[in-house]
């Protein structure tokens, strides 16, 4: 029977392939100014495109292995009807011989303000065969077509059904929506009697089964609302009272039409005159458009699967403000929060406009910590690396230069701080108790590690913009800091880096930032790694981003995975054990008594799993070339779908029972890969699609270069 089933599967697959070969595929994933989430129906949800020459992009259809686009044709029309008749009255590019599928600049008739336009594209493959036309996408211009502005979508309401509605007494109910979200409650009830009042309670945390904790502590949310019922009304949107701290001052203001939002998972209702069932109640979640199917991950460790889902939901749910914010207590954007939020969002959805908008907002509304300023440079480079679009870099180049703080550099190249900045602006980690005893000095290693990394990235940014003199200048400055850093802070006798000039204290932070940012010479990495591994998770959820990065960069996948799945109080499993469905601001209330339960900067495992455990990272801007270097650590297998601007990458890794590894990779068209597998021996060969192929052995990793698009299978023997 098994052979028969396999035979039928083979026949079905063959038939499907035959059908596909008869019908040419079309481009998908159309983008205008990095916006991809709406087709015809959603133009009103866009804040407006003010670029008079908007940039367009698409995913090239994969028609054969190693496929690439060789030409494209774009039509832009003033109506859907004209576009359906293949008439580009606003722009018909004709057939353009080019492999460009990202950041293709509009070159048609001048666009009018506040107007909808309709466009589509077709491409030619490596055999010069044309695709069919793509589905159309709409874009809407803004009011000012002569300025630079990153457009975004408005966060939108979406109804979520309850997973549990249970009577807890006469006219009283307990409701569980499964996950916390920012939003409000929608009641659909028909009251036959006279007007009356019911009570609604919102909560993130339980005191006991079916009972919301009304004094949850910290900034964990609980609120109440009264609802006046009327026989004339069938539906009620119930909002909590506004919180003064997160709706005034520097907090991101929500549109008046949105109403007051609160994060909640649970609802209690009292004095309800009708019986409630799941159809009567909805959690109305307000969030930026998010494709929940774009990214997938599963592995042999169910604990890690749960952590992934926790982090994934956090990134979606915390977009309610239309700008990356720190959490519900303040709702203020901060650079470090936004950077971790950004790289998490990139690996979870093919969406880049919200991150760019948040980054540029922070350039105009900077915050106070020293290291947060460097994070603006980190965000700018990540934006370019993942989108391949240098428009934001060019527009904000002068602002980014100021973020290096190079005016504070001493003659030896290192940054100094004045006495007021030492213990206030130089943040190291947050909260202050999470610094592993770090000793603040006017010239400290953490600030200078960030400074070095920022100079390296500014050199790459200058090079990307064709500013060769600036690129050489930043490269020389980075080298000076590298040399001075190692001379000043490395203690050769102990094999570790000390916290600053004039102290012999060595903290986890000094050593993990130095390792992550490329400041540790190869000959010193072993002792630095050994020291780091003695400290455990002696940092905050923010610091965990850099600790895990540093460990994977140093090939310490086993220990990194151990930290991610640690069941103790300093871990993501503890967040789940507490009952949260979003990542916390800190590991536990004992470390930060005013923490909230909805902080995106705690979701580091999302990007760490995708970028390091699965190992998918862009090598060339816009994923023209990608690195795939899985580091499974103790896992037996793992698989993932990683969204990119050029299309999804599918990866499956399996360890062989007696050593060795099999890696299956599916790449979209217009992309090549550099694939690396851990090599225990000195062999320079692996099987690629069943055939031996020589690779390059570097630091116990065997690399195969120039892997083409489509399906590829790599097998490495022990």
Which tens digits make up the pLDDT trace of 23-73? 579 999 999 999 986 553 444 556 789 999 999 999 999 999 999 999 999
Model confidence at 659, pLDDT cuts 50, 70, 90, reads: confident
Confidence check: pLDDT of 553 > 50: yes
Averaged over 453-461, what is the pLDDT? Answer: 98
Averaged over 284-299, what is the pLDDT? Answer: 96
The 10s digit of each residue's pLDDT in 468-525 is 999 999 999 999 999 999 999 999 999 999 999 999 999 999 999 999 999 999 999 9
| Predicted local distance difference test score (pLDDT) of residue 7 | 38
**What's the token pair of residue 385?**
């690396």
How far is it, in rounded angstroms, from Cα 205 to Cα 585?
15
How far is it, in rounded angstroms, from Cα 503 to Cα 441?
8
Q: Are 333 and 368 in contact (CB under 8 A)?
A: no
Half-sphere exposure of residue 236: CA atoms within 13 angstroms, side-chain side: 23
Q: Are 478 and 547 in contact (CB under 8 A)?
A: no
Averaged over 75-100, what is the pLDDT? Answer: 98
3-state secondary structure 564-606: HCCCCCCCHHHHHHHCCCCCCCCCCCCCCCCCCCCCHHHCCHH
Q: Which residues of 389-423 are buried (b: 16+ CB within 10 A; e: fewer)?
A: bbbbbeebbeebeebbbbeebeeebbbbbeeebbe
| Predicted local distance difference test score (pLDDT) of residue 291 | 95
Percentage, residues of the chain above pLDDT 70: 95
Using DSSP, state whether 455 is helix, strand or coil.
helix
Q: End-to-end distance of the chain based on CA atoms, in angstroms?
A: 35
Find the range with the poorest average confidence among 16-30, 240-254, 351-365, 447-461: 16-30
The 10s digit of each residue's pLDDT in 352-406 is 999 999 999 999 999 999 999 999 999 999 999 999 999 999 999 999 999 999 9
| Predicted local distance difference test score (pLDDT) of residue 9 | 36
DSSP output for 665-682:
EEE-SS-EEEEEEE-SSS
DSSP output for 411-447:
TTS-B---HHHHTTT--SSSSGGGSTT----SSBHHH
Confidence check: pLDDT of 180 > 60: yes
Decide the pairing of beta strands 625-628 and 672-678.
Answer: parallel
**What's the token pair of residue 30?**
């159309």
Average confidence score pLDDT of the chain = 93
The 10s digit of each residue's pLDDT in 678-716 is 987 777 889 999 999 999 999 889 999 999 999 999 999
| Predicted local distance difference test score (pLDDT) of residue 420 | 61
Model confidence at 131, pLDDT cuts 50, 70, 90, reads: very high
How far is it, in rounded angstroms, from Cα 565 to Cα 363?
36
Confidence check: pLDDT of 17 > 70: no
| Predicted local distance difference test score (pLDDT) of residue 195 | 78
Confidence check: pLDDT of 583 > 70: yes
| Predicted local distance difference test score (pLDDT) of residue 45 | 58
Using DSSP, state whether 151 is helix, strand or coil.
coil
216 backbone dihedrals φ, ψ, rounded to 5°: -75, -15
The 10s digit of each residue's pLDDT in 188-221 is 999 887 778 999 999 999 999 999 999 999 999 9
Percentage, residues of the chain above pLDDT 90: 89
Confidence check: pLDDT of 12 > 70: no
| Predicted local distance difference test score (pLDDT) of residue 6 | 36
Query: CA nearest 72: which of 138, 130, 32?
Result: 130
How far is it, in rounded angstroms, from Cα 122 to Cα 131?
6
User: How open is the CA angle 602-604-605, to the nearest 5 degrees?
Assistant: 120
């Amino acid at each position: 029977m098994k052979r028969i089933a396999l035979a039928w599967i083979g026949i079905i697959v063959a038939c499907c392939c035959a059908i596909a070969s008869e019908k040419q595929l079309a481009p998908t994933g159309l983008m205008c100014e990095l916006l991809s989430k709406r087709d015809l129906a959603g133009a009103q949800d866009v804040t407006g495109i003010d670029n008079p020459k908007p940039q367009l992009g698409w995913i090239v259809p994969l028609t054969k292995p190693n496929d690439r686009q060789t030409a494209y044709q774009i039509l832009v029309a003033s109506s859907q009807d004209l576009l359906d008749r293949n008439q580009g009255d606003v722009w018909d590019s004709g057939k353009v011989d080019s492999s460009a599928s990202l950041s293709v600049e509009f070159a048609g008739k001048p666009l009018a303000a506040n107007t909808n336009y309709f466009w589509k594209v077709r491409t030619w493959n490596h055999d010069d065969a044309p695709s069919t036309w793509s589905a159309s996408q709409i874009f809407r211009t803004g009011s000012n077509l002569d300025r630079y502005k990153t457009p975004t979508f408005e966060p939108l309401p979406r109804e979520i059904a309850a997973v549990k509605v249970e009577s807890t007494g006469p006219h009283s109910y307990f409701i569980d929506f499964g996950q916390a979200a920012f939003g409000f409650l929608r009641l659909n009830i028909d009251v036959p009697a006279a007007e009356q009042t019911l009570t609604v309670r919102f909560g993130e945390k339980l005191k006991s089964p079916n009972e919301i904790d009304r004094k949850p502590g910290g900034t964990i949310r609980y609120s109440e609302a009264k609802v006046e019922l009327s026989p004339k009304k069938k539906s009620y949107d119930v909002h909590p009272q506004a919180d003064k701290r997160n709706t005034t001052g520097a907090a991101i203001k929500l549109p008046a039409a949105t109403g007051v939002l609160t994060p909640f998972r649970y609802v209690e209702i009292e004095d309800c005159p009708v019986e409630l069932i799941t159809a009567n109640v909805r959690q109305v979640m307000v969030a930026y458009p998010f494709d929940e199917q774009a990214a997938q991950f599963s592995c042999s460790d169910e604990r890690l699967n749960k952590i992934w889902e926790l982090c994934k939901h956090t990134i979606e749910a915390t977009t309610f403000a239309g700008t990356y914010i720190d959490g519900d207590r303040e709702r203020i954007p901060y650079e470090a929060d936004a950077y971790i939020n950004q790289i998490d969002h990139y690996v979870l959805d093919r969406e880049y406009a919200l991150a760019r908008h948040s980054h540029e907002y922070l350039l105009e509304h900077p915050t106070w910590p020293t290291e947060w300023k460097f994070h603006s440079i980190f965000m700018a480079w990540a934006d370019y690396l993942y989108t391949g679009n240098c428009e934001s870099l060019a527009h904000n180049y002068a602002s980014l230069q100021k973020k290096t703080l190079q005016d504070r550099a001493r003659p030896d190249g290192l940054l100094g701080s004045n006495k007021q900045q030492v213990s206030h602006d130089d943040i190291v980690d947050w909260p202050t108790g999470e610094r592993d005893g770090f000793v603040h000095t006017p010239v400290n290693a953490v600030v200078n590690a960030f400074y070095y990394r920022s100079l390296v990235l500014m050199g790459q940014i200058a090079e990307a913009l064709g500013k060769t003199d600036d690129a050489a200048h930043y490269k020389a400055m980075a080298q000076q800091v590298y040399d001075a850093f190692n001379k000043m802070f490395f203690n050769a006798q102990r094999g570790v880096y000390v916290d600053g000039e004039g102290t012999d204290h060595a903290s986890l932070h000094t050593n993990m930032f130095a390792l992550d940012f490329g400041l540790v010479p190869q000959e010193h990495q072993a002792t630095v790694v050994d020291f780091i591994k003695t400290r455990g998770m002696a940092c905050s959820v923010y610091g965990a981003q850099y600790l895990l990065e540093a460990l994977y960069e140093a090939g310490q996948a086993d220990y990194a995975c151990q930290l991610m799945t640690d069941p103790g109080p300093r871990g993501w499993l503890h967040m789940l054990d507490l009952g949260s469905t979003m990542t916390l601001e800190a590991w536990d209330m004992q470390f930060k008594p005013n923490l909230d339960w909805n902080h995106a900067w705690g979701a580091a495992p999302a990007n760490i799993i995708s970028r390091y455990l699965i190992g998918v990272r862009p090598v060339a801007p816009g994923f023209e070339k990608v690195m795939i270097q899985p580091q499974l650590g103790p896992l037996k297998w793992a698989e993932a779908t990683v969204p990119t601007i050029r299309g999804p990458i599918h990866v499956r890794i399996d360890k062989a029972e007696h050593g060795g590894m099999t890696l299956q990779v599916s790449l979209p068209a217009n992309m090549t890969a550099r694939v690396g597998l851990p090599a225990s021996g000195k062999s320079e060969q692996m099987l690629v699609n069943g055939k031996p192929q020589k690779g390059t052995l570097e630091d116990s990793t065997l690399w195969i270069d120039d892997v083409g698009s489509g399906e590829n299978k790599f097998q490495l023997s022990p």
